[in-house]
Amino acid sequence: MSVEQTTQLIQLILNSVLMSVACALVLGGLTARHSAIAEQLQAWHHSEETTALESVRNRRGQSRSQIRRLQYRYTISRYSVVAAYYALLFAIVSCLTLALRGMINWNGLISLALVLFVVGVATLLVSVGLTLVDWHLSDRPMLDEARRLLSLGNDERLSHLRQKFHHSGSSSRATTLTRNNRQKMRVG
């Protein structure tokens, strides 16, 4: 192998490694988003089970449509994660094929590696496209979705606690307020 061919092979290997890293980062974010949607879906099912019968009659149609929409988003998110897994697989196999080319002097391995690389890039783009569809279906601004993803659903837990606090009696409010004031005094 000449010096020029070796340089090109190293560049191709570095491209495959960079693609693998990009796929791993995207996969990590998509997995976190998928788990946040799963937690949100579980919270909806749990809240539907624990609400009073009167409020269920009033909200039944609305909550069913929201649950169906959330289930659809969950399915899209799952497909997006699977596509990102395949993109990572294609990038790693492309890198390994190029490494094998360094040991075996057969030019067909370079063509195979390039095909795997292109398929990996296309699969990663499909994964990102599915994520964009999921974000569109969320009916929230992208910045709010990113904040919620970074908080990993803590906002829903806090709002659920606030609703419980709002619906509880005045005596429990007073005890909660005094506890909070005591804690603030200890800290301050």
Residues 180, 133, single domain; the answer is: no
Residues 52, 96, single domain; the answer is: yes
What's the sign of the alpha-carbon dihedral 49, 51, 53, 56?
A: negative
pLDDT at 168: 47
Residues 93, 33, single domain; the answer is: yes
Among residues 133, 131, 139, 147, which one has the least CA distance to residue 66?
Answer: 139
Residues 27, 10, single domain; the answer is: yes
pLDDT at 128 over 70: yes
Q: How many domains would you assign to the chain? A: 2
Tell me the whole-structure pTM to 2 decimals: 0.69
Residues 135, 166, single domain; the answer is: no
Residue 156 neighbours by CB under 8 Å, 6+ apart: 39, 40, 43
Q: What is the mean pLDDT of residues 39-51?
A: 75
Residues 128, 72, single domain; the answer is: yes
Which residue would you say has higher pLDDT here, 81 or 61? 81
pLDDT at 83 over 60: yes
Residues 35, 83, single domain; the answer is: yes
Q: Using CB atoms within 10 Å of the CB of residue 171, give its burial: 0 to 12 exposed, 13 to 18 middle, 19+ buried.
A: exposed
Residues 57, 79, single domain; the answer is: yes
| Rounded-to-integer distance, Cα 83 and Cα 30, Å | 10
Residues 140, 165, single domain; the answer is: no
Domain interval for residue 110: 3-152
Residues 54, 144, single domain; the answer is: yes
Residues 49, 71, single domain; the answer is: yes
Q: What is the DSSP string of 42-83?
A: HHHHHHHHHS-HHHHHHHHHHHHHHHHHHHHHHHHHHHHHHH
